[in-house]
């Protein structure tokens, strides 16, 4: 970890974003170094999901900058003027940023295998056989080797989410964004999904995850970011953040989460 530290893979500076008159991001700075897992926690409405969605421009941002591997995501700053990127450029950038969704968002008309194959064929331009093979490899890795030909409707929530993860990582993204990926799951299905994420972390996948699973965040993260009212309130290694009893809002937040579990 020498040269990599100098230029973070994901570099967010002064990010601002409003929905109408409601400013949800009030100047966010965030660095994610290659191989790091950064967990973003915070109450709902704190802006954490919006921050994540800005990174692959599912939301546009108003001010500041997001760079992934040195490339500004949302805008082309060519002649000192901000120009929104065109559809093709954007698709090209997004192909290298994986995302897993809270509600899975699998393509319901395609089998598990074809959900993964689509991006490999149409974006990565792999030939049919190679795409199918890679898709199968990933589905086997997430424990769905026997569900290759199942339609999403035939799968449980946990299985669907694992297909969602396979679909994202098969593209070999530089960074993986995970947006509350266990929030829509029955409690007994959370574990199987988190196990897959933990394995990816062990393999060195760079990840930003928005989560309410505090113990998971503590275990898997290199760094934890606590967001409050559109700002980064506390940031640091998990032990420090979860032990930061000095920060009032963080303490209340953690206490409330703790209460919910009892």
For the chain, the distance separating the N- and C-terminal CA atoms, rounded to the nearest angstrom, is 40
The residue whose two tokens read 């409050």 is 228
Within a 13 Å sphere around the CA of 187, how many CA atoms are in the beta-carbon half?
Answer: 1
Nearest distance in Å: CB 169, another protein: 11
Instruction: Assess 106 for contact with another protein (CB under 8 A).
Output: yes
151 or 257: CB nearest another protein: 151
- DSSP helix/strand/coil, 15: strand
| Tokens coding 48 | 């954490």
Nearest distance in Å: CB 123, another protein: 4
| Tokens coding 2 | 């020498």
Q: Which of 14, 63, 84, 108 binds another protein (CB under 8 A)?
A: 108
Residue span binding another protein (CB under 8 A) among the ranges 8-16, 44-52, 100-108, 221-229: 100-108
Nearest distance in Å: CB 209, another protein: 15
Beta bridge partners of 227: 232
126 or 234: CB nearest another protein: 126
| Tokens coding 160 | 């669907």
12 or 106: CB nearest another protein: 106
CA angle 90, 94, 97 (to 5 degrees): 155
Instruction: Assess 103 for contact with another protein (CB under 8 A).
Output: yes
43 or 151: CB nearest another protein: 151
94 or 223: CB nearest another protein: 94
Instruction: Assess 125 for contact with another protein (CB under 8 A).
Output: no
Give the separation between CA 131 and CA 87, rounded to whole angstroms.
Answer: 24
Instruction: Assess 167 for contact with another protein (CB under 8 A).
Output: yes
Nearest distance in Å: CB 131, another protein: 12
Give backbone dihedrals phi and psi of 248, rounded to 5 degrees, phi first: -55, -55
Give the separation between CA 164 and CA 104, rounded to whole angstroms.
Answer: 6
Nearest distance in Å: CB 87, another protein: 5
Instruction: Assess 83 for contact with another protein (CB under 8 A).
Output: no
The residue whose two tokens read 């319901």 is 108
Give the separation between CA 59 and CA 151, rounded to whole angstroms.
Answer: 29
Instruction: Catalog residues that contact another protein under the rule CB under 8 A.
Output: 56, 58, 87-88, 90-92, 94-99, 101, 103, 105-109, 118-119, 122-123, 151, 153, 167-168, 171
């Amino acid at each position: 970890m020498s040269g990599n530290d100098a230029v973070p893979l994901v570099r967010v500076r002064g990010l601002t974003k409003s929905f109408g008159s409601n400013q949800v991001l009030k100047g966010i700075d965030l660095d994610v170094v290659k191989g790091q897992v950064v967990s973003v926690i915070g109450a709902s409405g704190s802006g954490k999901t919006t921050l994540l969605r800005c990174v692959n421009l599912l939301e546009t941002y108003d001010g500041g900058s997001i760079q992934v591997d040195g490339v500004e995501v949302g805008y082309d700053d060519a002649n000192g003027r901000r120009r929104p990127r065109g559809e093709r450029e954007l698709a090209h950038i997004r192909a290298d940023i994986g995302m897993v969704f809270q509600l899975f968002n699998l393509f319901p008309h395609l089998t598990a295998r074809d959900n993964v194959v689509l991006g490999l064929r149409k974006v990565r331009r792999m030939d049919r056989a190679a795409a199918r093979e890679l898709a199968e490899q990933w589905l086997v890795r997430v424990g769905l080797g026997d569900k290759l030909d199942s339609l999403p409707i035939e799968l449980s929530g946990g299985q669907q989410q694992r297909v969602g993860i396979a679909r994202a990582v098969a593209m070999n993204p530089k960074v993986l964004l995970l947006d509350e990926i266990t929030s829509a799951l029955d409690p007994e299905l959370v574990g199987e999904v988190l196990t897959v994420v933990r394995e990816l972390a062990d393999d060195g996948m760079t990840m930003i995850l928005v989560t309410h699973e505090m113990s998971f965040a503590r275990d898997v993260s290199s760094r934890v970011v606590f967001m409050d009212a559109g700002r980064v309130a506390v940031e640091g290694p998990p032990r420090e953040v979860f032990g930061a009893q000095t920060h009032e809002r963080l303490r209340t937040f953690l206490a409330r989460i703790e209460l919910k579990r009892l």
